[in-house]
Amino acid sequence: MAEELIGNCLIAQSGGPTAVINSSLAGIVTEALNHEQIEEIYGGLNGILGILREDFIDLAEESQQTIRGLRHTPASALGTCRFKLKKSQDFDRVLAVFEAHNIRYFFYIGGNDSQDTADHISKLAIERGYALRVIGIPKTVDNDLVATDHCPGYGSAIKYVATTVKEIAADNESMGQGDLVSILEVMGRNAGWVAAGASLAKRREHPNDPPHLIYLPEVAFSPQKYLDDVQRVLSKKKDCFVVVGEGLVDQDGNYLATASTQTDSFGHAQLGGAGEYLRAMAEQHLGIKARVAKLGIGQRAAAHCVSLTDNNESFMAGQAAVKAAVLQGETDKMVTLIRGDGDQYSCETGLCDLEDVANGVKMIPATWINDDGVSLNYQFTKYALPLAFGEMEVPFENGVPKFVQLNKMRVDRMLDPYIME
Amino acid sequence: MAEELIGNCLIAQSGGPTAVINSSLAGIVTEALNHEQIEEIYGGLNGILGILREDFIDLAEESQQTIRGLRHTPASALGTCRFKLKKSQDFDRVLAVFEAHNIRYFFYIGGNDSQDTADHISKLAIERGYALRVIGIPKTVDNDLVATDHCPGYGSAIKYVATTVKEIAADNESMGQGDLVSILEVMGRNAGWVAAGASLAKRREHPNDPPHLIYLPEVAFSPQKYLDDVQRVLSKKKDCFVVVGEGLVDQDGNYLATASTQTDSFGHAQLGGAGEYLRAMAEQHLGIKARVAKLGIGQRAAAHCVSLTDNNESFMAGQAAVKAAVLQGETDKMVTLIRGDGDQYSCETGLCDLEDVANGVKMIPATWINDDGVSLNYQFTKYALPLAFGEMEVPFENGVPKFVQLNKMRVDRMLDPYIME
């Protein structure tokens, strides 16, 4: 047993949500209630912004029904942000706020940028001698965090994408006339995990099922090869199903199709045009009818089509964070998901150092991509299939899914307002 | 009771599929088995093309499990086409094929073009003295057929669209920073029924819930009004949810944004249709970040998110077609859906003349659209809500929905091949 640390805990969510990010929140709250060392359970609104501003709510005041309902409510129930602490005074403020509210446990649900922030906070607390335990909980549909077998949120994203591919493919195949290139643009700025997941729409033993061509950021895009690929598929059947990750890059690593010249606050290029780019190419160079669908934010929010496995693991990751902090006295760690060795899929949680995950990006292993560059082999399927497994019954009301909303009973502020520059 | 007509029946599907078009097919097959007057139950592959080519399959040979599975299988299980009979020799060929196979009952599941075709076939048979009963079964996500209260396929399309709106809206609302215009482009070239259906994402008594702005083909689009509308919404909240039907038209009835290389009146290159058009306008004229999702074919194929009401009614419409033809001796009719007068939603089937439905287009009544031109009033909600009501449990296998495929045991051809010009 670790040294006992008594105080309040703070939970926050950061970055782009997933369909199951609130399941991790529910896991943390549920587990925190089991430990007397945790006195108050606070939620910080809108990620790190809410911490700077002391925008805290009392999560223990929420009804049990609401906490249970978080498991089928998409988006970040606490609100989120894309804001990166940079200046040392921002970090000073965070610690001042923690001290003022006696925050001794900080659980941060986010991607690699968020884990980087958590790492800095944790290290600063150690340096200042402020007793604080910081545990990150991974989330990202992009599945690109290192050190964990996979990321909470990914299994649900690919279940939704593969389901959509299968449905659209059935429609394409039922059309009796004319060649068609059917394009689906999916998420994935730096890695092609979501695009690759579309291959789960193929039935086993049917490698020629749609999607026929999957373009991944891991494979430098060649316009001529794309046109050749499409023609090869259309020489055998009348429709060609293309899945493309938004972050398609050329051989020099430049994005091929940006929807605008803007960049976000992290300096990421704002993407969105890869599907339209491929459609225009097929129509202009091959004279073939092409159409595009772009699922957009639906991919990270489709609570009506989550993976039960993913949902359960997201909850479990939240629970594990609390146990690691309270029982093992861990800090400066992120919860990881570890896959069992057996033939039957199993998963348990582990821990890694926050700094190990903070700035890495995990790509699809080159050995999982077939030589054609546009399909995945059995190693990917073996990896991804169990993550999308199982369905969850979600409540509907008046024809649409029913989500919960937190009551958000505010915690009194203790400090002067913080002026952000 | 009508005069007894003994012979074979032929079922075909035409035009764009829906998520429940096969439920009507299942309804026809199931009901046909109840009537001794119907000897063989044939399916024509790829709509009218399969009839010209004598591409028939024996539907009575399909397993009961397959017929039941049609109820959760999207796309046209028999295949479909977009082909309109025009020349008189095409019609002659249809009757010759019918005669060769002793087809006495013809059930055609389709939209207004298909009902027009069925009307011509029916009238020609009467003219030639060939005993034939022709009944059309409506289907279209566009919901734009006249003479029926609503169309099979529509309720499922709006359930999927409204679900997606609610999920994306939750994500938008959880983002802590910055103004955002979130745009969803949906189907509907001539009428705005699908776009209007997005309003089911609003909770009752919460008229300010997303979607905030709905642009319908029924209302001439004004670029300046759009910019004003967005700014009005953003003066009250940080995100503006826009739904736009693909068939947006200006005051002269011209499509504003076709998926081609045209430029609009602002000089924007038009690549992605109506959604991309509105995105570019918001970013360039207001300097506000905007993003688009385009559900595409998913809207008519999302079997994993069908309306139970719609599915049941589609099946019922198929059954009603058989009963009308066999028991009542009807021909040259289309099955209609008739809403009950009571406060509680109820629906039964009726019949209308094929020629009444053949070439009409039903728009949203002007009195259902609010004066702001971008929202629907209670009359629309009262109309649409029951159609999206109820969920259906669909089987999944390996993480994705499980669809059935017909065995397609071929019926021997009786005639020489038909040369189509």
The answer to whether B279 touches B292, Cβ cutoff 8 Å, is yes
Q: What is the dihedral of CA B32, B34, B35, B36, to 10 degrees?
A: 110
Yes or no, beta carbons of B175 and A291 under 8 Å apart? no
**Active-site pick, A90, A116, A119, A142:** A142
Separation of first and last alpha carbons in chain A: 43
Quick check: B314 pLDDT over 90?
A: yes
Look at residue B190 in the predicted model and tell me its pLDDT. 84
For range B339-343, the mean pLDDT: 94
The amino acid sitting at A149 is D
Look at residue B253 in the predicted model and tell me its pLDDT. 80
- pLDDT by residue for chain A (421 residues), tens digit each? 688 999 999 999 999 999 999 999 999 999 999 999 999 999 999 999 999 999 999 999 999 999 999 999 999 999 998 888 888 999 999 999 999 999 999 999 999 899 999 999 999 999 999 999 999 999 999 999 999 999 999 999 999 999 999 999 999 999 877 789 999 999 998 899 999 999 999 988 888 999 999 999 999 999 999 999 999 999 999 999 999 998 888 888 887 765 444 444 444 444 448 898 899 899 989 999 999 999 999 999 999 999 999 999 999 999 999 999 999 999 999 999 999 999 899 999 999 999 999 878 899 999 999 999 999 999 999 999 999 999 999 999 999 999 999 999 999 999 999 988 6
CA-wise closest residue to B193 among B138, B250, B151: B151
Task: For chain A, state the CA radius of gyration.
Answer: 22
Yes or no, beta carbons of A296 and B301 under 8 Å apart? no
pLDDT in tens, B31-54: 999 999 999 999 999 999 999 999
**Structure-block tokens of residue B254:** 């011209």
The answer to whether A50 touches A79, Cβ cutoff 8 Å, is yes
**Structure-block tokens of residue B103:** 């087809």
pLDDT more than 70, % of chain B: 96
Q: What is the model's pTM?
A: 0.96
Look at residue B207 in the predicted model and tell me its pLDDT. 86
**Structure-block tokens of residue A353:** 């150092």
Length of chain B equals 421
Length of chain A equals 421
Please give the backbone phi and psi of residue B345, each rounded to the nearest 5 degrees, phi first.
Answer: -65, 135
Look at residue A257 in the predicted model and tell me its pLDDT. 65
Yes or no, beta carbons of B168 and A297 under 8 Å apart? yes
Count residue pairs from A and B with Cβ separation < 8 A. 209
- Residue B267: pLDDT band with limits 50, 70, 90: very low
Quick check: B271 pLDDT over 70?
A: no
Look at residue B265 in the predicted model and tell me its pLDDT. 42
Question: Which residues are paired to B350 by β-bridges?
Answer: B336
Chain B positions touching A173 (Cβ under 8 A) are: 75
From the list B163, B173, B401, the residue facing A401 with the nearest CB is: B163
- Residue B421: pLDDT band with limits 50, 70, 90: low
Cβ neighbours for B19, distance < 8 A, ≥ 6 positions apart: A167, B74, B153, B156, B157, B160, B300, B301, B302, B303, B305, B306
Look at residue B262 in the predicted model and tell me its pLDDT. 43
List the 299-358 stretch of A: residues with Cβ below 8 A of B: 300-305, 307
pLDDT in tens, B208-256: 999 999 999 999 999 999 999 999 999 999 999 999 998 888 888 887 7
- Residue B258: pLDDT band with limits 50, 70, 90: low
Query: Is the complex ipTM more than 0.90?
Result: yes
Chain A positions touching B78 (Cβ under 8 A) are: 174
| A291 in contact with B, Cβ within 8 Å | yes
| B76 in contact with A, Cβ within 8 Å | yes
Yes or no, beta carbons of A168 and B385 under 8 Å apart? no
The amino acid sitting at A402 is K
Look at residue A121 in the predicted model and tell me its pLDDT. 97
DSSP letters, B298-310, are HHHH-GGG-BHHH
Place of tokens 């306008």: B281
pLDDT more than 90, % of chain B: 83
The amino acid sitting at A119 is D
Instruction: List the Cα angle B177/B183/B188 in 5-degree steps.
Output: 165
Chain B positions touching A181 (Cβ under 8 A) are: none
Q: Which of A46, A297, A420 to mutate to test the interface with B (most CBs of B within 10 A)?
A: A297
Chain A positions touching B110 (Cβ under 8 A) are: none
Q: State the Cα–Cα distance between residues A283 and A279, nearest whole angstrom.
A: 6
Q: State the Cα–Cα distance between residues A252 and A84, nearest whole angstrom.
A: 28
**Structure-block tokens of residue A408:** 């958000």
Quick check: B260 pLDDT over 60?
A: no
Yes or no, beta carbons of A298 and B167 under 8 Å apart? yes
- Residue B83: pLDDT band with limits 50, 70, 90: confident
Q: State the Cα–Cα distance between residues B132 and B138, nearest whole angstrom.
A: 19
How many angstroms away from the CA of A328 is the closest CA of chain B? Answer: 33
DSSP letters, A312-336, are HHHHHHHHHHHHHHHTS---SEEEE
Q: What is the overall mean pLDDT for chain B?
A: 93
Scanning every residue of chain A, which has its alpha carbon at the shortest distance from the alpha carbon of B406?
Answer: A174
Chain A positions touching B76 (Cβ under 8 A) are: 174
Q: State the Cα–Cα distance between residues B337 and B317, nearest whole angstrom.
A: 8
Chain B positions touching A385 (Cβ under 8 A) are: 398-399
Please give the backbone phi and psi of residue A74, each rounded to the nearest 5 degrees, phi first.
Answer: -80, 180
Please give the backbone phi and psi of residue B114, each rounded to the nearest 5 degrees, phi first.
Answer: -65, -35
| A365 in contact with B, Cβ within 8 Å | no
From the list B177, B305, B391, the residue facing A83 with the nearest CB is: B177
The answer to whether A177 touches A53, Cβ cutoff 8 Å, is no
Yes or no, beta carbons of B400 and A162 under 8 Å apart? yes
Look at residue B412 in the predicted model and tell me its pLDDT. 97
From the list A82, A270, A388, the residue facing B399 with the nearest CB is: A388
The amino acid sitting at A300 is R
Look at residue A261 in the predicted model and tell me its pLDDT. 43
Residue A356 appears among annotated catalytic residues = no
Q: State the Cα–Cα distance between residues A253 and B340, nearest whole angstrom.
A: 61
**Active-site pick, B55, B90, B116, B142:** B142
Chain B positions touching A203 (Cβ under 8 A) are: 398
For range B66-93, the mean pLDDT: 93
DSSP letters, A26-95, are HHHHHHHTT-TTEEEEEEETTTHHHHHTT-EEEGGGS-HHHHHHGGG--S-TT-B------SHHHHHHHH
Task: Identify the DSSP state of A4.
Answer: P
**H runs (alpha helix) in A201-359:** 223-234, 274-281, 298-301, 308-326, 354-358
